A = this chain, B = another copy of it.
Amino acid sequence: MSADKYRHKWWGWGPEGIEYDMESRPALWPWIVETGQFGDDPERLPPIEFAKIALPPSRLPDVLSRALKQAVGGGNVREDDEDRLIHCYGRSYRDVARLRAGIVSRAPDAVVYPGGHDDVVRVMKLTGEHGASLIPFGGGTNIAGCVEAAEDDQRPTITLDMRRMDRMLVVDVESMTADLEPGIFGPQIEAALAPHGLSLGHQPDSFIYSTLGGWIATRSAGTQSNVYGKIEDMVAGMTVVTPTGVIETKPLPAASTGPDLNQLLVGSEGTFGVITRATMRVHPIPEYEDYRMLLFPSYRDGFKALHESVREGYMPSLARLSDEAETGLMFAAKRTSKGIERLLERPVKRLLEVRRYGRPAALVVAFEGPRRLTRELRRGAMAIFKKHRAFDLGRGAGESWKESRYDVPYLRDFMMEYGTIADSLETATVWSNLIPLYEASTETLRRIIRDVTGFEGYIGSHISHLYQTGACLYYTICTRYKEGSTPEEVIEQYAEIKRAATETFVKCGGALSHHHGVGYEHRPWLERELSERGVASLRQVKDALDPDGIMNPGGLLG
């Protein structure tokens, strides 16, 4: 298949053969050993052998198998173990932990690769007629549990892998819109738009391995969301195949025609239907771009600087302010091979020594757009940053960050080899609540990790995705688990940490999720988040569009 380069290895992130580049980061391993309270030669725990994983036998009736093959072509219906295993889970910690341990109690009974809208309509019809259920699947990078079969669903489960639907159907250069199929991966989108001088400008951390449809289904956020918005802000129109018919929305710049159907469909996580086309707002490739890294004496200083720049109207296109702990990891993880040491080390030392900064906080910031206007924007923002004692490490450091920004999931997989729980958690809140929420969440994580594992672990955080009214708060955690735990016990330790953090987010005014989605991970909190009546009304929409509940029964609405 043409998109095989975007296919994950069965046990982790990214394709076979690509792993975290530890060699060019000489400071990282010693930092890990110290932070992780590892001994001298920590034990490695590789994944189980593929051959040893026993998938539950496929429930797909022969008659449905034949009908599906007739509908989409024989080669596009897969019932082999490898395809089924790759489509069992997303790529959350819980997912990868189960895969590495070979825990698979439920798998899709077939994986179908539709070639276009009409194929999807046919598969939807067959799914309904044969009493099966259907899970749309993009790149499989989801970490909230949005693509997994429901444990208690007795029906045959078909996973619909959308990667063959990867075309740009129409581009309207004048209107700056592009009609795209949902199975198109991040790099494919940019490659299709670039010859027209256009860009979508949506770069989530999963960019290389995730699809437009997956982004839309989960309300994904790209690094430059400050100026281009989250994916929901980029959707102008959609075609969605539901079990009861096709919904089409007109690709208008704006409208006043009742509730916004696009925003009812965006974020529906495959529970209402299958997206087969999206008209996306795109923009010219920026004339000018400036990535750089700055250091603040403390996270609080950086916070004040960011908040003021937003308030004063100087919104950078990207901003990512790391707390002191995450800044420590960034420095430890810096590569030596690209001259970044020279760029980073000297000023850092100078800061630490001369200015008596304690533990600095790094801000990665970018400005992009028309040259003169963007320079003026940068000037204004930098003036505010400097007022708050920012030290500018320059564009080299920013470019280095940009180059390695998609690497973190590989580090997660690397760390899992050493018996750890490693996860990312995220929320969002208004500016006035960001520091209180940060303090409460960090305290919760510190306590729960210690209580559950007996280790201190690593807890790093950053603020990113700025809005006029607030921002996203993002955590990366890593801790050894209790020694001698079974895989099931490890997953329960993970779940305790995840539960405590999520509870704190929701209790303290944070979003249940800012861009990872709901899935089964966050579903228990959904009624507290959207109010009981709010969730009930979504369930009614679900009942109306999908009366037999065939769409993604393990997902958003259960």
Further 14 A-B residue pairs, CB within 8 A, beyond A245-B536, A253-B471, A263-B264:
A172-B430, A175-B431, A176-B311, A244-B533, A253-B430, A257-B513, A258-B518, A281-B469, A283-B468, A284-B312, A372-B376, A537-B541, A540-B540, A540-B544
Q: Does A277 contact B (CB under 8 A)?
A: no
Q: Does A442 contact B (CB under 8 A)?
A: no
CB pair B248–A531 under 8 Å, yes or no, is yes
Report the separation of the CA atoms of residues A284 and B307 in the bound assembly, to the nearest whole angstrom.
Answer: 13
Q: Interface digits, A160-201 against B, CB 8 Å rule (1 contact, 0 not)? A: 000000000000101111000000000000000000000000
CB pair A431–B176 under 8 Å, yes or no, is yes
CB pair B432–A174 under 8 Å, yes or no, is yes
CB pair A260–B258 under 8 Å, yes or no, is no
Report the separation of the CA atoms of residues A312 and B538 in the bound assembly, to the nearest whole angstrom.
Answer: 40
Q: Does A347 contact B (CB under 8 A)?
A: no
Chain B residues near A472: list those with CB within 8 A: 253-254
Which residues of A, 501-554, contact B by the 8 Å Cβ criterion?
509, 511-518, 522, 526, 529-534, 536-538, 540-541, 543-545
Residues of A within 8 Å of B, CB-based: how many? 97
Q: Which residue of B247, B534, B536, B557 contacts A531 across the interface (Cβ within 8 Å)? A: B247
CB pair B263–A259 under 8 Å, yes or no, is yes
Q: List 12 A-B contacts (CB under 8 A).
A: A230-B256, A236-B469, A253-B469, A253-B470, A257-B512, A259-B264, A259-B541, A263-B263, A264-B537, A284-B311, A376-B376, A533-B545
Q: Which residue of B260, B465, B469, B511 contacts A266 across the interface (Cβ within 8 Å)? A: B260
CB pair B255–A219 under 8 Å, yes or no, is yes
Q: A48 to chain B: closest CB distance in Å?
A: 32
A177's closest neighbor in chain B, by CB?
A: B469
Q: Does A252 contact B (CB under 8 A)?
A: yes
Q: Does A249 contact B (CB under 8 A)?
A: yes
A175's closest neighbor in chain B, by CB?
A: B430
Q: Does A67 contact B (CB under 8 A)?
A: no
CB pair B314–A373 under 8 Å, yes or no, is yes
Shortest beta-carbon contacts, A-B, top 4: A540-B544, A263-B263, A253-B470, A175-B430
Chain B residues near A246: list those with CB within 8 A: 531, 533
Q: Does A420 contact B (CB under 8 A)?
A: no
CB pair B529–A257 under 8 Å, yes or no, is yes
Q: Which residue of B256, B433, B517, B537 contacts A517 across the interface (Cβ within 8 Å)? A: B256
Report the separation of the CA atoms of residues A537 and B245 in the bound assembly, to the nearest whole angstrom.
Answer: 10
A263-B264, A314-B370 given as contacts; is B255 within 8 A of A428 (CB)? yes
CB pair B470–A175 under 8 Å, yes or no, is yes
Report the separation of the CA atoms of residues A543 and B544 in the bound assembly, to the nearest whole angstrom.
Answer: 10
Q: Does A467 contact B (CB under 8 A)?
A: yes
